[in-house]
Amino acid sequence: MDRPLLDGKVALITGGSRGIGFGIATAFRAEGATVVLTARKAAGLDEAREQLLATPGTGQVHTVVANAGDPDQAAAAVAETAERFGPLDVLVNNAATNPYMGPLADIDLSRAAKTAQVNQIAPMLWIHAAREHGMGRDSGAAVINVASVGGLLVDPHIGFYNATKAALIHLTMQLGYELGPDIRVNAIAPGVIKTELARAVWEAREGVLTAQLPMRRLGTVEDCGNAAVFLASDLSSWITGHTLVIDGGALGLPRAVQT
């Protein structure tokens, strides 16, 4: 029997208690990884841990309450993980926020700052903390940033959110250049994924959206999890600085259909 793709790896996933983060955690554990989930709410983490332990997999599951955008909490979460399990092999920067909907030109400074802190600056904080606690000393270390296909598009409602995701895509390229060969840095850019958090986006328009997509369905957290396993494993050992779009073909639609 072949060894699981992430056998013995230690992976930390920010915003891992639900949605895409939880889907990635599930896929990682199924491939043999020990997973550490962080999120702001203990109750959600406790529920996620119970659900994960009920899924196939041999790795341990640990949770740490941490606000992804808080430098001290990020450092403490990585330190706790390293003390318990050793240096990180995989870091998934999944946590994100979007407190503002509306024209980019009208966003207020406080919500712009919060969005940038969590979506753009926090991934660098977590990477810094992971390196401070030994990530990259052994071969095979990987960072996966969860961006968005919105970082490659224009949208009338979430322009600043998309701008932070575009910045994350560029940071992925830059960090891939700077941290190689010790740490590979890649990203995934999901399109519309069927999560509870995004229900307002897809539920009422699912039929219309799926009819337009070449793959004729919306994305799932399992789609994101499978892509993350590939980027975290040795299967992608010569890939860094790359963003993998997971959108069912939406980015390639003719402009008239996209709008």
CA distance 34 to 7: 8
- 10 close to 33: Cβ distance less than 8 angstroms: yes
Instruction: Indicate the residue type of 88.
Output: L
Give the integer Cα–Cα distance in Å for 69 and 248. 30
What is the rounded end-to-end Cα distance, in angstroms, of the chain? 48
Please list, in sequence order, all residues whose beta carbon lies within 8 angstroms of the beta carbon of residue 163, skipping any fewer than 6 positions away. Answer: 104, 151
Q: Distance between CA atoms of 184 and 54, rounded to whole angstroms?
A: 31
Residues near 103 by Cβ (< 8 Å), separated by ≥ 6? 156, 159
Task: Tell me the two tokens of residue 162.
Answer: 């998309």
Strand ranges of the sheet holding 141-146, from the earlier edge strand across to the other edge: 61-65, 34-39, 10-14, 90-93, 141-146, 183-190, 243-246
Any idea which residues carry the catalytic annotation? 161
Helix (H) or strand (E) holding 189: strand 183-190
